[in-house]
Amino acid sequence: MISDILQRAADGGRISPEEALLLYTDAPFHALGEAADTVRRRRYPDNIVTYLIDRNINYTNVCVTACKFCAFYRAPKHAEGWTHGTEEILHRCQEAVDLGATQVMLQGGHHPDYGVEYYEELFSAVKQAFPSLVIHSIGPSEVLHMAKVSGVSIEEAIQRIKAAGLASIAGAGAEMLPERPRKAIAPLKESGERWLEVMTQAHRLGVSSTATMMMGTGETNAERIEHLRMIRDVQDKAVANGYTVEADLAGTVGGFRSFIPWTYQPENNHLKGRTQATSLEYLRIVAVARLFFDNIAHLQSSWLTTGKDVGQVSLHLGVDDLGSIMLEENVISSAGARHRSRLTELVQMIRDADRIPAQRDTQYRHLRVHWTPADDPTDDRVQSHFSSIAIPGGGTGRSIPLTPVSS
């Protein structure tokens, strides 16, 4: 039975959630990986694996949601709370552009005072200063929060921030979408259904997005597969309704561009690492995701949370994208994810997996294909976390120094 399911999925057929769960728990690992990589080879016969250069810029760590797994946030009026002004954010955007970044992710806590107007001003300022920089930012939770603060509908909030320059909504805040594990780790956050409802509205309005999953906080195997099922159902709607994408990502198929699973990080948060996903559990969900998501184009692994060795192994399990050299990342690294990489090292990881590395943009268009080692980048300045509040000394001694945190 398992071999029949694997063959059908490898051939491009749809598998049910029940079949996906069986594969996740019982399929032989090598057979599972071979089937997933068959799907990758059929989708991407050029054997290219992509990467992105971007920067995650946090505008505030003040947040009212208090998720138990988060080590980044501070409650309102906390002595360690801070907010960056627009000038500081633009400075960080300039540093990113200087290093070849094509995308910026503006991300922060649910500040009690930040409504739609704040985000309109922020996105407009970034877009005016850097017209070519794609704003892939915030998530459904932030959309819901800003709409509540401003007293407007979700639809109006999305339309306004889109007009201000937002091109894509991040999969942030998905964590675990099923009700039981979500309430256990983020009781003040919106439901998984509500998170998906915001994504559906964004897709309908011409804003595409990514989808994510955080595993390792005590969810069951069945709940992990249910998370995938909920995302696939929403993507089915985007495909059936022919949603398209406008603005910076025009020409992209609507809905979710990619799926990105990552693992919970146990430091400095209230969960304190009581449960964590193993590397094998992570790799198995990666392979199952490639077989299950027949309607989502790309699969990205998270070397930032799992380590570069696991990230490289994932390239043999259906993954076609290694994510980004994050020039700055504070949220996950605050909880202990301290894996770092230079661009030159990331490219070599792809090449050592017998794949062809290529820099992409947000739309997954190839900007530079490194067909041979002679084409590989050589700029050692391009490295993850050259600026980070979570990793002491990030960027020390480099030509672009650590950017100080402003109040």
How large is the average pLDDT for residues 128-151? 96
- Tally of domains in the chain: 1
Residue 26 has pLDDT above 70, yes or no: yes
pLDDT digits (tens, 9 = 90+) for 87-108: 989 988 998 898 889 999 998 8
Compute CA distances 143 → 67, 106, 119, whole Å: 17, 13, 10
> Which region among 40-49, 129-138, 175-184, 341-350 has the lowest average model confidence (pLDDT)?
341-350
pLDDT at 389: 52
| 405 found inside a domain | no
Residue 386: inside a domain: no
| pTM for this prediction | 0.88
Comparing 125-134, 267-276, 315-324, 339-348, the range with the smallest average pLDDT is 267-276
Measuring CA to CA, which residue among 322, 311, 304 is closest to residue 391?
304
Q: Determine how β-strand 356-360 pairs with β-strand 366-369.
A: antiparallel
| Distance between CA atoms of residues 397 and 283, nearest Å | 36
Beta bridge partners of 244: 253
168-214, pLDDT tens digit by residue? 999 998 999 999 999 998 888 999 999 999 999 999 999 999 999 99
Q: Which whole number is the average pLDDT over 216-228? A: 95
Instruction: Please report whether residue 133 resides in a domain.
Output: yes
Helix or strand or coil: residue 167?
A: strand
Is residue 150 classed as helix, strand or coil in its secondary structure?
helix
Mean pLDDT over 303-310 rounds to 84
Mean pLDDT of the chain: 86
Q: The CATH number of the domain where 333 resides is what?
A: 3.20.20.70
- The answer as to whether 380 is a domain residue is no
Residue 406: the pLDDT is: 39
CA-based angle 368:371:373, to the nearest 5? Answer: 105
Give the DSSP per-residue string, 378-395.
--TT-BTTSS-SSSTTTT
Q: Beta 356-360 vs 134-137: how paired, if at all?
A: unpaired
Taking residues 377-387, report their average pLDDT: 65
Tell me the three-class secondary structure of 99-157, residue by residue: CCCCEEEEECCCCCCCCHHHHHHHHHHHHHHCCCCEEEECCHHHHHHHHHHHCCCHHHH
Instruction: Note whether residue 396 is domain-resident.
Output: no
Domain of residue 218, residue span: 15-375
CB contact at 8 A, 125 and 93 = no
Q: Would 132 be classed as within a structural domain?
A: yes
Q: What percent of the chain has pLDDT over 70?
A: 83
Residue 388 lies in a domain: no
Banded model confidence at residue 276, pLDDT cuts 50, 70, 90: confident
Give 302's contacts (C-beta < 8 A, 6+ positions apart): 260, 261, 262, 263, 311, 323
Per-residue pLDDT of 344-368, as tens digits, reads: 888 999 999 999 999 999 989 999 9
What pLDDT score was predicted for residue 274? 57
Kindly write down the DSSP assignment for every residue of 239-252, as one continuous string: HHTT-B--GGGTTS
Please count the CA atoms within 13 angstroms of the CA of 323 that sit on its side-chain side: 27
Other C-beta atoms lying within 10 Å of the C-beta of residue 80:
9
Would you say residue 302 lies in a domain?
yes
Using the structure block, give the residue that is written with the tokens 């192994």: 313
**The predicted structure's pLDDT at residue 392:** 53
Q: Which stretches of 17-85 are DSSP H helices?
A: 17-26, 29-43
